[in-house]
Amino acid sequence: MREKRVRHNYLLSIIRTMLLSGIIPLLILGFLSYASSSQALKKRVSETNMLLLEQTRMRFEQTLDIIYSHYVLLGNDPSLTDQLNRSLSYSDVTIIPEIQKKLHEIQNLQNLVRGSRLVNLQNDWVIYHDYFQDHVEEELRDYVNRRMTGRYNVFWTFEEDRDNRISLFIKLPYNSSSSTGALIVDLDQKEIGDYFLDDGDKKMLLADEEGSIVHYYESSLIGTGLESVLGPDYGERLTGDRGAFTFRDGGGTSQYVIYEKSRYNGWTYFILYDIRSLNRDIINIRRLTFLMIGIIILFLSVISVFWSSKRLYGPVGSIYARVKEKMLLEKEPGVVDEISYIGRGVDSLFEERQRLKIEIARQTILIEELFMRKLIRGELNRERIGERTESLGKFRDFAGYYLVCFRVSDSGDEEMTAVLLLSAIRAVLEKGGQYLTPILKNGIVVALIDSTEGDVVNFRENLFVELLRLQADIGMDQNMGVSMGISGYHRDPLETEIAYREGIEALMGGGEAGNSLSIQFYEDLELDKTINIVYPGGQEEELLRWIGNGNGEKAVQAMEGILDHIFGIRVGYREHMLNVSRLLVKLTNVLQDAGIPLKELFPLTENPMDQVMALTDREEIKAWFRSRLIEPIIPLLRKQRSSRSKNLIQDVIRMIEENYDQDLSLEECAYRLDYHPSYIWRIMKQEMGMGFSEYLLDFRLSQARKLLTDTDLSIGEIAEKLCYNNTQNFIRYFKKKEGVTPGAYRKENQIQGPPGSGRNRG
């Protein structure tokens, strides 16, 4: 009895000790949590809403930037800017619809765009996306002249006196010192509201640089100053590019405001929410905190009682049971007791640790490869780069870096030798220095070499010596000749994409110099920086003409001439590829203009721009354009145009024959058939030799002849049936075409009917 009582007292002592050691700290923590919950919640809410505000800003500005890019590209289009020197009128039925088509195509891509127009002050005309005006109204002229005085060629503007409209203003000609016109893009205020979250106690507000409200849930306040919402002294609270403050609105309600100023256009984004809702959340959190503390205390008490009620096992027995349960080791000779079994388990743990170490090293190489590929593609922002370098334990205190491109010279099996080169370079680089795992990209090994020293000249000299040694080592060990292209010296990791292009350019430049085993620095390339790179627009028009005529041989020759012109100018690789990408966009637009989806040439999984940018040789680029674009496009266009034109003309003729006695116009017909009026007119002119109006008038004339000879309708009734405004217009047109008046034609050609039928009436 005494032994049981002792054991029982010992158990109670353990229980009391565990309960006291667990409950007291938790109670203290609960009171501290209760006291600090308000500030913690406010901070968390502020951080969450700042993140929401930043996401809203980035999403909205990304859309603005897409609109900006599309219309700036259109502003640079020579076919558009050439029209600024012309006086256009309603008779220019080819030029005006073509410009309207370009404006309309971009507008269809973005719901945010409400409308766009091309204004020519010099020649006094305006082309809207849906109509043409042969003069510039005084209000519009004043607005354009006022905006022309700004120092920027392209900028966003908000006008309170123009229906609170947000507009993109582009001076034309683009980048010209003397602007004669402008491209103006207006945004839809209703669509803008979809980008901003307004619910319950939380409201979003957007203001421009001058403090005018651009967006707010109360539309009546749009266009007014910020003081109408934030009070007259709001300027004193905006102390930086981002922050938070509280104020009382006109109703005496305390509001918490978070703001961030955009670096994109200087506009400021706000989130306002009622502090009373925040206090309600704080009370709920306090209640939840005490509830959780109670559950935790109860749970820990149960666990304490459960574990304290079990018998205490010896240390060896406990470890033996754990090893036996977790590791499931096979029985081996010599394992006769718990100690031997535990020893075998420890050996197994070390073996597993070594295996994991090797696997982690392999995965680290894969992660570094992926990181390197994303770096040279420019897919990482500064924050992501910092996170990756911190996790990889590299480049924490770097001063700058070079990016080196290696290529095997005069090899047979390029793919195999490139893989061998990659392995050899990795083996050499592992001996010293900071570097990212080299990668293989398009047969070229790419390595990023980092330096922690600030002396660029010394770093370059040391790097050159190391590369010479590496070139010699690889030559002796692998029997391979290696050429190297080194980028310029960079300090910002965001410039890795630029450094990669420079390394490729240096590699190509070294090869052009005739040295098959060259080590070429980008900084030493002799590029003619004074050459004004002119895109061969005339040759491009010739290429498009040969494609339109279906002459594949001439089209290939024109394409090769354009690429020879582009690469014939001794400038940087980036400048070359800029014009190559422009040619690619132009050719893909030919398909889209013809109504042929791009997926006819490229599956959804392929990106033609990425494929072209991955090529580094002029002949490879020519072969790609020939096989992937020129040769497939011509039969597609021929088939599409033939089928499409015939079907369209049949639909137009059927509509005229069924509706000739109605007020039918080219615009109405185009609307019903979902085509542009100028396109229908052009197809009819090409295929039938006459436009829509001519065919409609001719068909009505044929119906007039039938009505004159086959019916006893009067001349006025026939004119009304054929939709003429008055009888005299009908008589004049009939006489012009037939040489006689309708009455005379009836007398000469009317079929004689039986007496009393009325068919012999004049």
What DSSP line would sit under 377-418, residue for residue? TT---HHHHHHHHHHHT-SSS--EEEEEEEEEES-SSHHHHH
121-135, 214-228, 269-283, 669-683: least confidently modelled range: 269-283
pLDDT of residue 41: 66
pLDDT of residue 744: 92
Of residues 730 and 254, more confidence is placed in 730
Of residues 41 and 82, more confidence is placed in 82
pLDDT of residue 759: 44
Position 4 pLDDT exceeds 60: no
Other CB atoms within 10 A of residue 672 CB: 13
pLDDT band at 337 (very low <50, low <70, confident <90, very high): low
pLDDT of residue 706: 92
Position 730 pLDDT exceeds 50: yes
Q: What is the pLDDT of residues 375-404, one digit of tens each?
A: 888 888 888 888 877 777 665 566 788 888
Position 650 pLDDT exceeds 60: yes
Q: Which amino acid is it at 439?
A: I
| Average of per-residue pLDDT across 176-185 | 85
Best-predicted range by mean pLDDT among 350-354, 465-469, 498-502? 498-502
Position 314 pLDDT exceeds 70: no
Residue 612 · residue 581 · CB < 8 Å: yes
61-70, 558-567, 620-629, 678-687: least confidently modelled range: 678-687
Q: What is the pLDDT of residues 445-479, one digit of tens each?
A: 888 888 766 678 888 888 887 787 777 666 655 56
pLDDT band at 72 (very low <50, low <70, confident <90, very high): confident
What is the percent of the chain with per-residue pLDDT over 90, rounded to a whole number? 5
- Cα 382 versus chain centre, distance: 19
Residues 214, 270: Cα–Cα separation, whole Å:
11
Cα angle, residue 116 at apex, residues 110 and 122 outer, rounded to 5°: 150
Chain-wide mean pLDDT for the chain? 77
Best-predicted range by mean pLDDT among 343-347, 434-438, 547-551, 656-660? 656-660
pLDDT of residue 282: 63
pLDDT band at 193 (very low <50, low <70, confident <90, very high): confident
Q: Tell me the Cα Rg of the chain.
A: 39
| Average of per-residue pLDDT across 338-351 | 71
| Average of per-residue pLDDT across 8-16 | 48
What are the tokens at 310? 């079990």
| Residue 89 φ then ψ, to 5° | -140, 180
pLDDT band at 37 (very low <50, low <70, confident <90, very high): low
Residue 34 · residue 135 · CB < 8 Å: no
| Average of per-residue pLDDT across 318-336 | 59
| Average of per-residue pLDDT across 146-167 | 78
| Residue 425 φ then ψ, to 5° | -65, -40
Position 110 pLDDT exceeds 80: no
Of residues 244 and 278, more confidence is placed in 244
pLDDT band at 657 (very low <50, low <70, confident <90, very high): confident
Three-class DSSP labels, 603-651: CCCCCHHHHHHCCCCHHHHHHHHHHHHHHHHHHHHHHHHHHHHHHHHHH
Other CB atoms within 10 A of residue 465 CB: 10
Position 501 pLDDT exceeds 60: yes
Q: Which residues of 179-204 are buried (b: 16+ CB within 10 A; e: fewer)?
A: bbbbbbbbbbbeebeebbeeeeeebb
Best-predicted range by mean pLDDT among 57-71, 247-261, 281-295? 57-71
pLDDT band at 372 (very low <50, low <70, confident <90, very high): confident
130-139, 158-167, 468-477, 562-571: least confidently modelled range: 468-477
192-196, 378-382, 516-520: least confidently modelled range: 516-520
Residues 62, 673: Cα–Cα separation, whole Å:
35
Enumerate the H helices of 205-274 as residue ranges. 227-230, 234-237
Q: Residue 23: which of 8, 9, 31, 36 has the closest Cα?
A: 31
Cβ neighbours of residue 562 under 8 Å, at least 6 residues apart? 536, 539, 540, 543, 583
Of residues 742 and 350, more confidence is placed in 742
pLDDT of residue 363: 82
CB-neighbour burial class of residue 461 (10 A; exposed 0-12, middle 13-18, buried 19+): exposed
pTM of the model: 0.37
Q: Residue 204: which of 255, 277, 158 has the closest Cα?
A: 255
| Residue 133 φ then ψ, to 5° | -135, 125
Residues 334, 336: Cα–Cα separation, whole Å:
6
Of residues 39 and 490, more confidence is placed in 490
| Average of per-residue pLDDT across 572-594 | 78
pLDDT of residue 530: 46
Position 756 pLDDT exceeds 50: no
Position 18 pLDDT exceeds 60: no
Residue 207 · residue 268 · CB < 8 Å: yes
